[in-house]
Amino acid sequence: MVTIPRLVVAAPSSGSGKTTVATGLMAALRARGLRVSPHKVGPDYIDPGYHALATGRPGRNLDPWLQGEERVMPLFLHGAAGCEVAVVEGVMGLFDGRGDTEFASTAHVARLLDAPVVLVVDAARQSRSVAAVVHGFATFDPRVRVGGVVLNRVGSDRHAELCRSALAGVGVPVLGVVRRDDAVFTPSRHLGLVPAAERQGEAVDAVERLAALVARSCDLDALLRLARSAPPLDAFPWDPVAAAWGRGDGQVSGPSGLGGPGGLGVSTGFPGRAGEVAGVRPVVGVAGGAAFTFGYAEHVELLRAAGADVVTFDPLRDERLPDGAGALVIGGGFPEVYAAELAANEPLRAQVAAFGGPIVAECAGLLYLCDELDGRRMCGRVPGRAAMTSRLTLGYREAVALARTPLTRPGERFRGHEFHRTTVEYAGPPLFRWEDRSRRSGTGTHGRSTGQSGGDGYGDALVTASYLHLHWAGAPGTAQRLVSSSRSPSVLR
C-alpha cells in the first residue's frame, strides 16, 4: 500500500478556471516547501508545461484511453515518487469523457485514483444558482467524492457572501474564493494557451502570480487536509525498464492491442542492449525548442530504458543533427507558427532529408517532414503539402496500421489523439485507417471520408508519420522497436 495525499481539480466545464486554480495551487504548495507532483487528465501537452514550472518536476498525463485503465494508478505513483502531495488537473467538465461516455473523463480518473475532487465553479453572472450547480455535480455519481468548491471570478465581497450563503445547505465546503484579477492572464492562440516553453520568463512570472493569487484566495490548510483524506493505494509504481522490456507492469499488450495478446512482438533481452553495436548505446535525437514543445516525459524514459541515449535538438536553431544520431523523434508543437524560421534553416532540413535512420513524427513532426508547409519548403521526407485551416480537428482515435514502418506492422491497432488546425494533401496511400466511429464525416486528407473508412499518415521503411499522437506507456514496446531499428553511426556515414 502506498500513501500519497492527492486531490483532483475539476470543473463543470472548460473555461471555468481549472488551470488557474490547479497551477496556482501547485506553485503555492511548493512555496510552502512541499514536494508537489503535477498531473493532467487527458492527452493535453500545454497545461503540463505550466505545471512543470509550478512544481519543478515534469508534468505528467493520466489518460485511460491512451494508457489503459490498468496503468493510470501505476503511472500516477511513478510520477509522485518522493512527493508529499499530488495535484491532478482535470479536463473539460468533470463527467465529460470519450464520446457520450464517461470513459477517460476527470471523474473516471478520480475514481481510479480514489481521490477527492475540488470543483472550480465560475461564479460570474450568478449567485444562488452556484448551489444548484455544486449540488448536481456532488450527487450525480456517488462514486465520485466532491470534497470542496473553489468559487472563481467572484466580483465583490457581497457576491462572495451570497454564494457562500447559498452553498451552506449543500454540504460541500467552500475552500476558496478567487476574485477577478486581470493581471492573471495567459495568452492563447489557435490550439489553446501559448506553451510555457515559448514564453520563457513571462511564463515564470505568470506562474508566480497564480501562486500568489491562490495563496491569498484559498484555504491551503483545508485543501491539504482534503488531500490527506485520500486512502492508501494498492498498487506498484510503473517502471520504465520493466515496461520497455515487457515485464511486470510493463507488459506490452496494452490498450492499443499492438500485435495482439503478445504485444508488439519485439525481441526481449537485457536492458540496455537494444540496438547496441560493439557496446555503444544508440543515440535518439528528439526535436525540441519553441516549434516542438509537445511530448510526454515517459517517452524519453522508455527510450533510455530500451538502451538509447536521448539528445534534444532544436530545428529552429541547430544546423546539425546530434552527433551519432541513429533515430529521430519529431513530436508535436507549432511549426505553422515558425514555418519561415524552419524553412530558413536549410542545413538542418538537408540533414533530415538525407537521414538514413528511422524517423517517428507526430502532427507537427509530420508537417515538418512534408514537402512544404504553407508554401514554404520543409524536409521533403513525406510526399505531401501541409497548410493551416480554420477547422479544428480534435478527439480520440482508434486506427489500424496499413503499412510496415519502423513502428508499425500491417493490421496492428493503435489508440491515439488528434489535435490540430492543419491539413495535409498526401501524394501516396495512408499509413492508418481510422476505426473511430465517432469521428465526424468530411473530406479526408487522402480524399476519403474521415469517418470509419478514413485514413491518415505516411509510412515507409524509415518513416512513421501521421497526425496521431500516441502515449508510449500504453504500448511501451514502441520504444524498444524504435531503438532496435536505429542505425549505428558507421551505417549512417
Block residue for cell numbers 482534503: 226
SS3 261: helix
At a CB cut-off of 8 Å and minimum separation 6, what does 116 contact?
7, 8, 110, 145, 146, 147, 148, 226, 227, 229, 230
169-200 b/e (C-beta count within 10 Å ≥ 16 → b):
ebebebbbbbbeeeebebeeeebebbbbbbbe
DSSP state, 232?
P
The three three-digit cell numbers of residue 259, written as one number: 500485435
Q: What is the pLDDT of residue 205?
A: 87
Chain-centre distance for alpha carbon 272: 26
How much is the average pLDDT of 390-418?
93
- What is the rounded CA–CA span in Å between residue 199 and residue 205? 10
How many H helices and E strands in the chain?
17, 21
Kindly tell me if the per-residue pLDDT of 471 is higher than 70: yes
- Mean pLDDT confidence for 26-44: 97
Question: How confident is the model at residue 35, as a pLDDT?
Answer: 98
What does the pLDDT average to over 30-42?
A: 98
Tens digit of each residue's pLDDT (9 = 90 or more) over 160-177: 999 999 999 999 999 999
How does 465-493 read in b/e, with b if 16+ C-beta sit within 10 Å?
bbbbbbbbbbbbbbbbbbbbbbbbeeeee
* Better pLDDT: 41 or 489: 41
Sheet holding 463-466, edge to edge: 309-313, 283-287, 325-330, 359-362, 463-466, 458-459
Per DSSP, the three-state class of 171 is: coil
Dump the DSSP string for 118-148: EEEEE-TT-STHHHHHHHHHHHH-TTS-EEE
pLDDT digits (tens, 9 = 90+) for 291-323: 999 999 999 999 999 999 999 999 999 999 999
Mean pLDDT (whole number) for 26-39 = 98
pTM (2 decimals)?
A: 0.89
**Is 379 among the catalytic positions?**
no
What does the radius of gyration of the chain's CA atoms come to, in whole angstroms?
A: 23
Kindly name the residue from 83, 163, 218, 363 that is annotated as catalytic: 363
Phi, psi of 32 (to 5 degrees): -80, -5
Q: What is the pLDDT of residue 186?
A: 58
Provide the pLDDT confidence category of residue 200 given band limits of 50, 70 and 90.
low
Can you give the pLDDT at residue 445?
Answer: 40
Q: Please, which residues bridge with residue 386 across strands?
A: 373, 424
Least confident residue range of 71-75, 120-124, 475-479: 475-479
The per-residue pLDDT for 234 is 95
Per-residue confidence (pLDDT) for residue 488, from 0 to 100: 66
The band of 277, judged by pLDDT with boundaries at 50, 70 and 90, is: low
What is the percent of the chain with per-residue pLDDT over 70, rounded to a whole number? 84
**Amino acid 195: pLDDT:** 61
- Cβ of 370: how many Cβ atoms within 10 Å? 28
Question: pLDDT category, 180, cuts 50, 70, 90?
Answer: confident
How high is the pLDDT of residue 278? 52
219-228, 240-249, 387-396: the lowest-pLDDT one: 240-249
pLDDT at residue 185 above 80?
A: no
109 band by pLDDT with thresholds 50, 70 and 90: very high
Percent of the chain with pLDDT over 90: 77
Task: Give the model's pLDDT for residue 403.
Answer: 95
Average pLDDT, the chain: 88
The yes-or-no verdict on residue 146 having pLDDT over 50 is yes
Lowest mean pLDDT among 124-128, 185-189, 346-350: 185-189
| DSSP run (H or E) holding 383 | strand 382-401
Rounded CA-CA distance 27/38 in Å is 10
What cell was used for 189? 492562440
pLDDT, one tens digit per residue, over 323-366 is: 999 999 999 998 888 999 999 999 999 999 999 999 999 999 99
